[in-house]
A = this chain, B = another copy of it.
Amino acid sequence: MKNNVKITRLKTSMTQEKLARKVGVTRQTIGLIEKGEYNPSLQLCVAIAKELNKTLDDLFWEVEV
């Protein structure tokens, strides 16, 4: 699942660790989502989007390769 989480997170200068704590998961989970190797739950996607001040579509909809 390719997505825009990493590039968006970096723009906010937030670390994986901090984002993970904010949304209630571990750093590893964020890392794998950013790599596109996880198929995260809707709840987690929404939490990440809100934390990064984006919407679901911004981060996860038809992300260009």
Stretch at the interface among A8-16, A23-31, A53-61: A53-61
| Residues 15-63 (chain A) with a chain B CB within 8 angstroms | 39-43, 45-46, 49, 55-57, 60-61
Chain A, interface size: which category?
Answer: 10 to 19
Is B40 in contact with A42, judged by CB distance below 8 angstroms? yes
How many of these chains are in the complex?
2
Residue of B at shortest CB range from A57?
A: B57
Partner of A56, one of B39, B41, B57: B57
A41 to B39, CA, bound (A): 6
Q: With a CB–CB cut-off of 8 A, which chain B residues contact A55? A: 56-57, 61
Chain B residues near A56: list those with CB within 8 A.
55-57, 60-61
